[in-house]
């Protein structure tokens, strides 16, 4: 039982390059989330998927796209990376409660991305 896994762990990109961050969970959770963490700003939600087949924007979606590939996997794509996207990215999953009540989120180990 691996929980939430993320690949890669580290990545360096040049401005304008693209990449996809992968996330998978083996807890059969319905909801999945992508956050970015920057010093002094806490975690900010980029996109989330309340259930398989749905995705919604969070606080800071500009410059990102997501795909909920199936119930297990939720990927985050940077189409044209910018230095402002240098950050640590976390994926999380949750068995959100009834009527959309938020519940415990389980986090992956993070991806440290540097854009030069």
Partner 1 sequence: AQSVTQPDIHITVSEGASLELRCNYSYGATPYLFWYVQSPGQGLQLLLKYFSGDTLVQGIKGFEAEFKRSQSSFNLRKPSVHWSDAAEYFCAVGYSGTYKYIFGTGTRLKVLA
Which of 93, 110, 113, 115 touches partner 1 (CB under 8 A)?
110
**By the rule CB under 8 A, 21 interacts with partner 1:** no
Q: What mask, x for binding partner 1 by CB under 8 A, covers residues 59 to 88?
A: ------------------------------
Please list the residues that pair with 14 across neighbouring strands: none
**By the rule CB under 8 A, 99 interacts with partner 1:** yes
**By the rule CB under 8 A, 53 interacts with partner 1:** no
Closest distance to partner 1 from the beta carbon of 41 (Å): 6
Closest distance to partner 1 from the beta carbon of 59 (Å): 8
**By the rule CB under 8 A, 58 interacts with partner 1:** yes
CA distances from 99 to 37, 69, 71, 94, 103 (A): 28, 24, 19, 14, 11
């Amino acid at each position: 039982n691996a929980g939430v896994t993320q690949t890669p762990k580290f990545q360096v990109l040049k401005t304008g390059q693209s990449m996809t961050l992968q996330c998978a969970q083996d807890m059969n959770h319905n909801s999945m989330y992508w956050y970015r963490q920057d010093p002094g700003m806490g975690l900010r939600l980029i996109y989330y998927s309340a259930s398989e087949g749905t995705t919604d924007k969070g606080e800071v979606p500009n410059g990102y796209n997501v795909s909920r590939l199936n119930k297990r996997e939720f990927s985050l794509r940077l189409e044209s990376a910018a230095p402002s996207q240098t950050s640590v990215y976390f994926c999380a999953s949750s068995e959100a409660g009834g009527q959309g009540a938020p519940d415990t989120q389980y986090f992956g180990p993070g991806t440290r991305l540097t854009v030069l």
